[in-house]
Homo-oligomer: A and B are copies of this chain.
Amino acid sequence: MSRLHEVAKLAGVSPSTVSRALSRPEMVSEGTRARVEEAVRRLKYRPSRVARRLRVERGLSGLVGLVIPDLQNPFFAELARGAEDVAQARGYTVLIGNADEDLEKETRYLEVMRSESVDGIMLPPSSGVNSAAIEMWREGMPLVCVDRRIAGVDVDTVVVDNARGAYDAVAHLIGLGHRRIGFLEGIPGISTSRERLQGYRAALGDHGIEAGRELTRSGDSRRESGRRLGEDLLGQPDRPHALLVGNGMMTLGVLEAIRGLGLRIPEDIAVVGYDDMPWAPVLTPPLTVVRQPGYELGSRAMELLLGRIADPGRSTTAISLQPELVVRGSCGASLADRR
Tell me whether B111 and A46 are in contact (CB under 8 A): yes
Q: When chains A and B are docked, how far (Å) is the Cα of A51 from the Cα of B116?
A: 9
Q: How far is the CB of A6 from chain B (nearest CB, A)?
A: 14
Tell me whether B72 and A78 are in contact (CB under 8 A): yes
What B residues does A54 contact at CB under 8 A?
48, 50-51, 54
Interface locus among A87-95, A199-207, A315-323: A87-95
Q: When chains A and B are docked, how far (Å) is the Cα of A93 from the Cα of B115?
A: 12
A98 at the interface (CB under 8 A from B): yes
What B residues does A93 contact at CB under 8 A?
97, 109, 112
CB contact between A74 and one of B72, B105, B115, B116 (< 8 Å): that residue: B72
Tell me whether A46 and B114 are in contact (CB under 8 A): yes
Q: How far is the CB of A249 from chain B (nearest CB, A)?
A: 8
Interface locus among A31-39, A155-163, A281-289: A281-289
Which residue of A93, A94, A100, A105 has the most chain B CB atoms within 10 A of its CB atom?
A: A93
Tell me whether B95 and A95 are in contact (CB under 8 A): yes
Q: When chains A and B are docked, how far (Å) is the Cα of A72 from the Cα of B85?
A: 13
Interface size for chain A: under 10, 10 to 19, 20 to 34, or 35 or more residues?
35 or more
Q: When chains A and B are docked, how far (Å) is the Cα of A96 from the Cα of B72?
A: 14
Q: How far is the CB of A56 from chain B (nearest CB, A)?
A: 11
What B residues does A81 contact at CB under 8 A?
71-72, 98, 100
What B residues does A84 contact at CB under 8 A?
98
Tell me whether B223 and A278 are in contact (CB under 8 A): yes
A259 at the interface (CB under 8 A from B): yes
What B residues does A74 contact at CB under 8 A?
72, 74
Q: When chains A and B are docked, how far (Å) is the Cα of A94 from the Cα of B112?
A: 10
Tell me whether B281 and A283 are in contact (CB under 8 A): no
A 262-292 binary contact with B (CB < 8 Å = 1; else 0) = 0000000000000001110111100000000
A 216-249 binary contact with B (CB < 8 Å = 1; else 0) = 0000000100000000000000000000000001
Q: How far is the CB of A114 from chain B (nearest CB, A)?
A: 7
Tell me whether B282 and A48 are in contact (CB under 8 A): no
Name which residue of chain B comes closest to A280, CB basis. B279
Give 3 closest A-B pairs by Cβ, nearest first: A279-B279, A284-B284, A96-B96
